[in-house]
Chain A
């Protein structure tokens, strides 16, 4: 409903007998608009609600074609009979838009993309519990095409430096082993374009892959051992090795390009370019305030700090390579090269666009927020690719603690009970020595501290771990599926209230049947699982059952109310 309008295919008639003009009727905030399919047609309608004096529509369930008859005080009678859409009364609350061909295709694609959605669709639409339209009505967000195209999200790079992983040094054989995975290769290639270029040029035509990497790591090792003299000596002998040790010329070019487009409000290079007081040897050189720069910036000197900056820049930029492409070095190298070319062709317009955006951002950043009357922030929608993964990692710790507590020798309830007992004892008997029975205090303390220390111990330590993960996969999947199905049912169930039409009534009955089926399934699941995880399962199932129960209760209460009303009515009239 982002656009705030309802559209429906209708035929427009000026009188009942009229053949009608096919077109679309849209309902917006203040007016009713009719646009004929044939743009040349003269019959257009644009009527504000306030001019409508009367409206009639065909009764639901009658076999006449549904029709809406509007009367306005401008003496113009407008008739807008909906196209022969089965079952869809003009007043029905179900989404009434007829899906176009595009929409259908789009839905099919969505189903294909997500197996979860497909399962649900099969279960409910296939099982006749919900109609197609109902199913999609609750997923309007998904259907908004632009949000969907934008949300094509790719996982970012990991922040940590993979290539920095320490070499294994075997003291006995004096051998150093480096491990290399496609991910590390990707990192090396994107952070050191010169190595990438060298790889494309030399492998496999000039040197073998193995030799190439041996040389690379030899250079890295020299670099890291800070043995500059040795590095220079080796580089003089081996020109390929020298490539790895030399400062990266591609990077240098890139830097020069980037510095031109840097945010001008922090461009310290420009400051330097404008500073005429610090002509060489002007100004005060040694007043104790400036740090003396370390001498020597030799050719073969690359520092950890530079590497870290470079790494972070690459991570921030993101990778153009998908996970699937991370197979072997060759594919990674080629894929990177391809994407680089693409980028260089596309970058021109991109850059200027990005520049404009940045400049806008700067002027926005300059404004003082709280002085503005209203803040019209544009918020980017939060898009979490895998909500379960995201939230599980946050909840893992709390689940853990509950487990730990149950495993402890005594639950905190029990401990609490003991404490209360002793308090009531004190109340009845007054204070005597000792105030609290030592063994009780001991128990309470140990349980409570155990609880605290285990919480602390587990807090966020193992983000991937949760109660769910401790279950066998088949059970877990089943549980999750049940959970999603129940969620779907609940959504439809609660949105049907208050029941105003017959249609909704039938829907609710169908839903209720499905719910009781679900309830028994849950019960069965609980009974069939292994006894050792039954407790956890019960914990997990309980909220689902509670949700179902609440819905059932509501249904029953409502049913009773209706029945009593129905009984009252004839009484009142008779």
Chain B
């Protein structure tokens, strides 16, 4: 459909639109008009992404005199693929209705690991080895060597791309990673470098948060983005955590040991170079004297991860004299590693501020703050000079230098915490020295400063006024939308007893009780026989899941489950879990039906949607144990209190712990933002429906339950608060039967429209949206 929002004609690729989407677009447009930042909350399941994409692309089409670029940031690659798929759908629609004028270039950008088409390189195990393998074939010195020696292997894709030079361009269109790879293969050009090059020209760039927030990556990828860009952070409820993680480093024993090995290897290399090419080291020294840490014109293929500190904080000065010579620098590194080793050898928890830490390094190891600050650049320069390509081997020393640079650069907003062991496993010594950032506004500040509009949006941003304080910015629009449902499509239940009326719980003293294990099993056995397609189960931890599945297997319960549905399980191996998920979806698609066992705080819970038939029922077995005593969290709370006057209580209810409990529910502090997010993910549209069962007697208590997000609570009827397996089964049957009935999609029977047609929208445009909707 096509409609006007003020002077902008919006092309929306569906025949109908939700009223929420319409108002969302109106607000977004105002923010764009004002060239300011905005904060928008709208529940998942209302088509936020497509509303956002169609408004911004239509806005760009309408304002041809000052073209804007869209930088769309997602948390993960799979979300990026989803966004691109929606964009493709939208683009096809726009091209169909507008013709060539609507053509645009949209690309997704990812790492070499996900884009490389060179068979020898891409077969490498992990990201770092792919990066290193690529560098081995494409580094400038390797290529110049290859020019003389034909036996030196190079990457033909990179060579072709380089040869095509300016001619290597992507034609207009929407490119997912797979499309980029296919295009690269067809043309013989390297898709990774092509995509990086095209980022400057693309109308829409989709990549992950880190490419903008993490200075290590942003420094090489996002340097040249124009100011007239709209930056969107989707699913941004966790954005503060991404920001602080980008500036945090932890050092463990293994890191230090690896760093020592790295130093020795560098030493050997230096000795070797002294024999064959002493001039090179001298040249580097001279360059450093002149004040250039790096040659200015690094070719793209040489670029390594950039400085971990933010661009504004990096000193444009000459490298201090005491680390200019390679040998001296190595000595400094050795002393630093030694110092950290001693620090790590402690049996009590220590907390320090960066200032005092730097002071004690200075007095104990004789390394001053300025030298620390330049560690990263100095190392980078040295590795370049030594022509080291297997960068994946040098990650440890790089970590140490990142740590040094950060600790030398930032005096506030950070703290250093040394823990001799994980508090949950006090018997296993595993000392860690963590440099943790507390101030999320540090990493995101350059983004707010640089770009004209930054849109922060998610299904759950409440309390919405906290974000501007956490991230330290001033939004021109800050709004939260409610979702109007056409029918009661969510059915939460609290199950407190098994079919034998005994209570079920994962409380420590009950969790291994065979009765509880059996009752949980019976619940699932009954449910698999009546719920169609997909069921997702969440357990409180990996070890609990492992135990319960083994005992179900022994008692034959698993066999009963398998009579009805296939079983797939999340494991700690990401590859295996991905394949299991893929198969799970296939099984749901083909009608066989499947159960997916997952962990409440695992990777799957964090980011995979179980919408539509992929999750007709979600069962949460137990209440996930929440670890609230983390030293880092405490330190962060303290900092927030002192600096932003954010009360602990405020932050804890808002973020009852960083990045935890994602899925449908979670936690002792069923924290609002995550839990809502997770439940939101069972619902894809207003036509979708799903049930959720909280199987633990503790959920029936008011204090636990009240931590559930409001919109689950609003669907949780009093009658469903204290159920046994039989009763839950009955309710589930009824619910499924009800949902299978045809219903009036526009919701006109309930009085308020939940779906608008072209006509309705036009009427709205005339009358003003507000009065009709609210």
In the bound complex, what is the Cα–Cα distance between A460 and B434 (angstroms)?
A: 59
With known contacts A273-B114, A281-B252, A363–B559 Cβ distance under 8 A: no
CB pairs A–B below 8 angstroms (25 shown): A159-B562, A259-B575, A265-B85, A266-B78, A268-B574, A274-B111, A276-B216, A276-B217, A279-B305, A280-B399, A281-B249, A286-B419, A286-B432, A286-B632, A287-B630, A288-B629, A289-B658, A292-B424, A293-B572, A305-B546, A312-B568, A312-B583, A363-B89, A372-B15, A373-B16
Q: A367–B574 contact, CB under 8 A?
A: no
Given contacts A281-B252, A292-B425, 19 further A-B contacts (CB under 8 A): A264-B178, A265-B85, A269-B578, A271-B607, A281-B250, A282-B250, A282-B399, A284-B248, A287-B657, A288-B660, A289-B658, A306-B576, A315-B566, A316-B586, A362-B81, A368-B47, A370-B745, A371-B18, A371-B755
* A323 at interface, CB cutoff 8 A: no
Q: B47–A371 contact, CB under 8 A?
A: yes
In the bound complex, what is the Cα–Cα distance between A160 and B528 (angstroms)?
A: 14
CB of A349 to closest CB in B, whole Å: 16
The 5 tightest CB contacts between A and B, nearest first, are A288-B630, A373-B15, A273-B113, A288-B627, A371-B14
Task: List B113-167 residues whose CB lies under 8 Å from chain A.
Answer: 113-114, 123, 126-128, 130
* B177 at interface, CB cutoff 8 A: yes
In the bound complex, what is the Cα–Cα distance between A504 and B252 (angstroms)?
A: 92
Interface 9-residue window, one of B30-38, B684-692, B716-724: B684-692
Which one of B85, B210, B434 contacts A276 once the chains associate, using CB atoms below 8 Å? Answer: B210
Q: A287–B658 contact, CB under 8 A?
A: yes
In the bound complex, what is the Cα–Cα distance between A365 and B614 (angstroms)?
A: 11
Interface residues of A (CB under 8 A from B): 156, 159-161, 164, 255-256, 258-259, 262-294, 303-306, 308-309, 312-313, 315-316, 359, 361-363, 365-374, 460
B176 to chain A: which residues have CB within 8 Å? Answer: 264
In the bound complex, what is the Cα–Cα distance between A366 and B81 (angstroms)?
A: 10
Q: A305–B549 contact, CB under 8 A?
A: yes
* B9 at interface, CB cutoff 8 A: no
A161 to chain B: which residues have CB within 8 Å? Answer: 559, 562
B250 to chain A: which residues have CB within 8 Å? Answer: 281-286
Q: B81–A370 contact, CB under 8 A?
A: no
With known contacts A262-B578, A270-B177, A284-B436, A276–B601 Cβ distance under 8 A: no
Q: B111–A276 contact, CB under 8 A?
A: yes
Q: B89–A309 contact, CB under 8 A?
A: no
Q: B210–A275 contact, CB under 8 A?
A: yes
A315 to chain B: which residues have CB within 8 Å? Answer: 566
Task: List B77-109 residues whose CB lies under 8 Å from chain A.
Answer: 77-79, 81-82, 85-86, 88-89
Residue from the set A259, A267, A313, A361 with the largest chain B CB neighbour count within 10 Å = A267
In the bound complex, what is the Cα–Cα distance between A294 and B545 (angstroms)?
A: 13
In the bound complex, what is the Cα–Cα distance between A369 and B683 (angstroms)?
A: 12
B346 to chain A: which residues have CB within 8 Å? Answer: none
In the bound complex, what is the Cα–Cα distance between A290 and B558 (angstroms)?
A: 28
Q: B82–A290 contact, CB under 8 A?
A: no
Q: A304–B601 contact, CB under 8 A?
A: no
Q: A159–B627 contact, CB under 8 A?
A: no
* B729 at interface, CB cutoff 8 A: no
In the bound complex, what is the Cα–Cα distance between A283 and B437 (angstroms)?
A: 9
B648 to chain A: which residues have CB within 8 Å? Answer: none
* B668 at interface, CB cutoff 8 A: no
A273 to chain B: which residues have CB within 8 Å? Answer: 77, 110-111, 113-114, 126-127, 130
Task: List B558-594 residues whose CB lies under 8 Å from chain A.
Answer: 558-559, 562-569, 571-572, 574-583, 585-587, 589-590, 592, 594
Q: A282–B248 contact, CB under 8 A?
A: yes
With known contacts A270-B77, A368-B684, A291–B579 Cβ distance under 8 A: no
Q: B685–A368 contact, CB under 8 A?
A: yes
Q: A286–B578 contact, CB under 8 A?
A: no
Interface size bracket, B side: 35 or more
Q: A312–B214 contact, CB under 8 A?
A: no
In the bound complex, what is the Cα–Cα distance between A160 and B525 (angstroms)?
A: 13
Q: B214–A277 contact, CB under 8 A?
A: yes
CB of B442 to closest CB in A, whole Å: 14
In the bound complex, what is the Cα–Cα distance between A571 and B687 (angstroms)?
A: 66
Q: A280–B419 contact, CB under 8 A?
A: no
CB of A312 to closest CB in B, whole Å: 4
In the bound complex, what is the Cα–Cα distance between A305 and B604 (angstroms)?
A: 16
B638 to chain A: which residues have CB within 8 Å? Answer: none
Q: B395–A280 contact, CB under 8 A?
A: yes
Interface residues of B (CB under 8 A from A): 14-18, 47, 50, 76-79, 81-82, 85-86, 88-89, 110-111, 113-114, 123, 126-128, 130, 176-178, 208, 210, 214, 216-217, 242, 244-246, 248-252, 255, 305, 395-396, 398-399, 402, 419, 422, 424-425, 432, 434, 436, 529, 541-543, 546, 549-550, 553, 558-559, 562-569, 571-572, 574-583, 585-587, 589-590, 592, 594, 599, 601-604, 607-608, 612, 626-630, 632-633, 657-660, 684-688, 745, 755
With known contacts A264-B78, A287-B633, A289-B601, A277–B246 Cβ distance under 8 A: yes
In the bound complex, what is the Cα–Cα distance between A287 and B578 (angstroms)?
A: 25
Name A284's closest neighbour in chain B (CB-CB): B248
Q: A366–B82 contact, CB under 8 A?
A: yes
CB of A26 to closest CB in B, whole Å: 36
Q: B582–A309 contact, CB under 8 A?
A: no
Q: A287–B246 contact, CB under 8 A?
A: no
In the bound complex, what is the Cα–Cα distance between A145 and B181 (angstroms)?
A: 40
Q: B305–A276 contact, CB under 8 A?
A: yes
CB of B21 to closest CB in A, whole Å: 9
CB of B547 to closest CB in A, whole Å: 11
B577 to chain A: which residues have CB within 8 Å? Answer: 268
In the bound complex, what is the Cα–Cα distance between A24 and B534 (angstroms)?
A: 52
Q: B579–A262 contact, CB under 8 A?
A: yes
With known contacts A271-B77, A305-B571, A266–B687 Cβ distance under 8 A: no
CB of B382 to closest CB in A, whole Å: 19
A368 to chain B: which residues have CB within 8 Å? Answer: 14, 47, 50, 684-685
Which one of B78, B583, B755 contacts A265 once the chains associate, using CB atoms below 8 Å? Answer: B78
Q: B15–A371 contact, CB under 8 A?
A: yes
Which one of A313, A363, A460 contacts B583 once the chains associate, using CB atoms below 8 Å? Answer: A313
In the bound complex, what is the Cα–Cα distance between A281 and B88 (angstroms)?
A: 37
A256 to chain B: which residues have CB within 8 Å? Answer: 123
Q: A283–B568 contact, CB under 8 A?
A: no
Q: B583–A289 contact, CB under 8 A?
A: no
With known contacts A276-B216, A281-B252, A363–B658 Cβ distance under 8 A: no
CB of B661 to closest CB in A, whole Å: 8
Name B587's closest neighbour in chain A (CB-CB): A316
B581 to chain A: which residues have CB within 8 Å? Answer: 266, 268
Which one of B178, B244, B542, B582 contacts A266 once the chains associate, using CB atoms below 8 Å? Answer: B582
A365 to chain B: which residues have CB within 8 Å? Answer: 612
Q: A290–B14 contact, CB under 8 A?
A: no
Q: B632–A312 contact, CB under 8 A?
A: no
In the bound complex, what is the Cα–Cα distance between A367 and B81 (angstroms)?
A: 14
Q: B579–A279 contact, CB under 8 A?
A: no
Q: A267–B208 contact, CB under 8 A?
A: no
A286 to chain B: which residues have CB within 8 Å? Answer: 250, 419, 422, 432, 434, 630, 632
A284 to chain B: which residues have CB within 8 Å? Answer: 244-245, 248, 250, 434, 436, 632
Name B636's closest neighbour in chain A (CB-CB): A287
Q: B78–A271 contact, CB under 8 A?
A: yes
Q: A288–B395 contact, CB under 8 A?
A: no
Q: B567–A312 contact, CB under 8 A?
A: yes
In the bound complex, what is the Cα–Cα distance between A272 and B590 (angstroms)?
A: 29
Q: B601–A268 contact, CB under 8 A?
A: no
CB of B238 to closest CB in A, whole Å: 11
Q: A362–B395 contact, CB under 8 A?
A: no
Q: B111–A292 contact, CB under 8 A?
A: no
CB of A296 to closest CB in B, whole Å: 11
Q: B578–A371 contact, CB under 8 A?
A: no
Q: A316–B14 contact, CB under 8 A?
A: no
B684 to chain A: which residues have CB within 8 Å? Answer: 368
With known contacts A274-B77, A284-B244, A289-B601, A363–B88 Cβ distance under 8 A: yes
A303 to chain B: which residues have CB within 8 Å? Answer: 546, 571
B81 to chain A: which residues have CB within 8 Å? Answer: 264-265, 267, 362
